Amino acid sequence: MKSLVLILVAVLFSACADQKSEDTKYVTAPDTFDPATLLVKGPADSGLTGQLLYMPVYSNIPYHIVGMSEFDMSAFVAVHNTDLLNPIKITKALYFDTHGKPVFDFLIEGVVDLEPLATRDFYVPYEDKSGTGANFLIEWISAERVSEPLVESITISLKPNQSVAFLSKGRVIRESR
């Protein structure tokens, strides 16, 4: 089975390589980005000044083969500042277990400033045993109205013949405009 997957991947990569033109040139991006160069000028909505989000992650999930066992997983939560001009501040990144008990404060060193179009991620290691109901509370604020950040998690386990992944989006609990 592994060899079939490897052959399929090799064929796909070679097909993509054949479609590239020899004339394709990669241009280095400038050191700075000017949003004024964009053709679409208006904001997507009226903007927000903060949110509190609930973000599910799955530290381990139960499965039944012979008896009951748990499938351990690692997780990443990513906070993407989608605003083109203004920074946001991540003020809370609290991690809870399946029973709602706090496990870890990812901002123990203080607030994180997230520049326009920047991303900050928080990692839950494979060894964590917080359960199927593990979750984050993520809070962000901004001095200006900004476009809504994208907050997602990916929970993953890459074991031979047993790979599993989940993608989740944060759910807004509170919001300020």
CATH classification at residue 126? 2.60.290
Helix runs in 88-159, H state only: none
Structural domains counted in the chain? 1
The answer to whether residue 1 is domain-embedded is no
The answer to whether residue 124 is domain-embedded is yes
By the 10 Å C-beta count (0-12 exposed, 13-18 middle, 19+ buried), 55 is classed as: buried
The answer to whether residue 138 is domain-embedded is yes
What does the DSSP assignment read for 17-59?
HHHS-TT--PPPPPSS--GGG-S--S-SSS-EEEEEEEEE--S
Tokens of 94: 């609290």
**pTM here?**
0.75
The answer to whether residue 78 is domain-embedded is yes
CA distances from 135 to 10, 59, 79, 103, 119 (A): 38, 9, 14, 10, 19
Q: What is the pLDDT along the chain (177 residues), one digit of tens a residue?
A: 555 444 544 545 555 554 555 566 777 777 788 787 777 776 666 789 999 999 998 877 766 666 656 767 788 899 999 999 999 999 999 999 999 999 999 999 899 999 999 999 999 988 888 888 899 999 999 999 999 999 999 888 777 777 778 788 889 999 888
By the 10 Å C-beta count (0-12 exposed, 13-18 middle, 19+ buried), 18 is classed as: exposed
The answer to whether residue 3 is domain-embedded is no
Structural domain that includes position 160:
48-176
The answer to whether residue 20 is domain-embedded is no
Closest by Cα among 135, 172, 156, 151 to 56 = 135
Closest by Cα among 171, 173, 86, 74 to 122 = 74
Closest by Cα among 59, 50, 49, 48 to 168 = 59
The answer to whether residue 35 is domain-embedded is no
The answer to whether residue 27 is domain-embedded is no
